Amino acid sequence: MESCKHPRVRVLTREEDAEFVECLECGEVFDSHEFTDMAIEEKSLKNAEQSDE
């Protein structure tokens, strides 16, 4: 299985202390807190947020 860096994600649900996001590339759903940990090194989260509308 390829390792996906989840360059583009969308928020599925947002709760008090949990936020679930879905990767638009691989379709994986995960806690955004985990994603933040992954994204810090890649610094890709800001890029994703600035994606074109």
Binding site for Zn ion (CB under 5 A): 4, 6, 23, 25-26
Residues 33, 11: contact at Cβ < 8 Å?
A: no
Give min distance, CB of 30 to Zn ion, in A. 9
What six digits make up the tokens of 38?
């992954």
Give min distance, CB of 35 to Zn ion, in A. 9
Residues 25, 7: contact at Cβ < 8 Å?
A: yes
Give min distance, CB of 14 to Zn ion, in A. 19
- Cβ proximity to Zn ion, 13 vs 25, nearer residue: 25
**27 phi and psi, to 5 degrees?**
80, 5
